[in-house]
Amino acid sequence: MSAAVLRSEWTKARTVRSTPWLLLATFVVTVGSNVAFAFAVRGSFDRMPPQEQRNFDPVYSGFTGLGFGQIILLAFGVLLVTGEYTSGTIRASLAAVPQRGVFYLAKWLSGTLAAFAVSAVTVFPSFFLAQSALGPHGTTITDDGVLRATVGGCLYMTLVCSFAMGVAAILRSSVSSLIIMIPLFFFVSPMLNNVSALQPVAQFLPDQAGTRMIEVVPDGESVLGPGTGLLVMLAWNAATLLGGYLVLRRRDA
C-alpha cells in the first residue's frame, strides 16, 4: 500500500468537521461516566450482598462508562466510511485510487489508528481516575490481570470502531448503519444476554464478547474469557470488513 494513499485518507479523516468533536467527546464522555459510575459503586458497595462483594471486579466496574464511549467511536467509524458516499466524493476517490483494496485498506487504517490513539488516551486516565473514585475498593495497575484488562479496554474500543467501519462499508449509509448498530449494542444485546434461554448465543455477540476483555474476575455465566472474547471480536471484524470489501469491489460507486 502506498504511503501517499494512506496519507490522503488520513488527511480526509482529520479534516472532516465532525472528527475532532467525536474524538473529544469520546474522551470526555468515557472518562466522565467511568468516574461517575465508580463513585456510585463506592457509595453502594456496603449494601451489596456478600457474594457480590467477594466477586467484585474493580476494573470492570471502573470501565462501566466504556459503553457510552464505544457508541461515539462507532459513529466515528460509520461517518468516516459513509461520508464519501453521502457527498458523492467516493467517485473521485476511486478514480484517484483505482485499486479498491488499497483504497479500502488505507481508509480502514486511518480510522483504526485514530480510534486506537483516542482509546489509549481515554482508557488509561479512566482507569486511574475510576480506581481513585472507588477508594478502598479500587485496585492498582500492577495487580494481577489489571494491565491486561486495561489494554483490553483500548483494543475493545478500537475493534468496535473497526467493526462499525465494516458494517458501514456493506450498507453505504450512515443512517442504516447507526439504526442497526446503536440498538444492537445498547438495547438488543444486553436484553438477549439477560434471557437465560438466549444467553448461550448472546454471549457471542460482539459487545458481549468484547467486554470479557476488560474483566479481571471471570464472569461465571460466560464460556468466554479475555482471550476467547478477543478472538470472537476479531472474527466479527473479519466478517464485516471482508463483506465491506466485497461490496466495494463488486458494486459501482
- Read off the pLDDT of residues 84-137 as tens digits, 9 standing for 90 and up: 888 888 888 888 888 988 999 999 999 999 999 999 999 999 999 999 999 999
Dihedral through CA 36, CA 40, CA 42, CA 44, nearest 10?
180
Span 159-182, average pLDDT? 94
Specify the pLDDT at position 240: 96
Asked if 104 and 245 touch (Cβ cutoff 8 Å), the reply is yes
The CA-based angle 248-249-250, given to 5 degrees, is 95
Span 16-44, average pLDDT? 90
Residue (of 166, 173, 10) closest to 86 by Cα position = 173
Specify the pLDDT at position 175: 93
Q: Which one-letter DSSP state was computed for residue 184?
A: I
Alpha-carbon span 167 to 184, nearest angstrom: 13
pTM equals 0.91
Helical residues (DSSP H) of the chain, grouped into ranges: 3-15, 18-44, 50-54, 58-62, 66-87, 90-96, 100-134, 146-171, 174-183, 189-193, 199-202, 206-211, 226-250
Span 201-223, average pLDDT? 87
**pLDDT > 90: what percent of the chain?**
58
Least confident of 5-14, 23-32, 103-112: 5-14
- Amino acid code (one letter) for 42: R
Specify the pLDDT at position 67: 87
On the question of pLDDT at 1 being above 70, the answer is no
Alpha-carbon span 64 to 66, nearest angstrom: 6
Asked if 128 and 122 touch (Cβ cutoff 8 Å), the reply is no
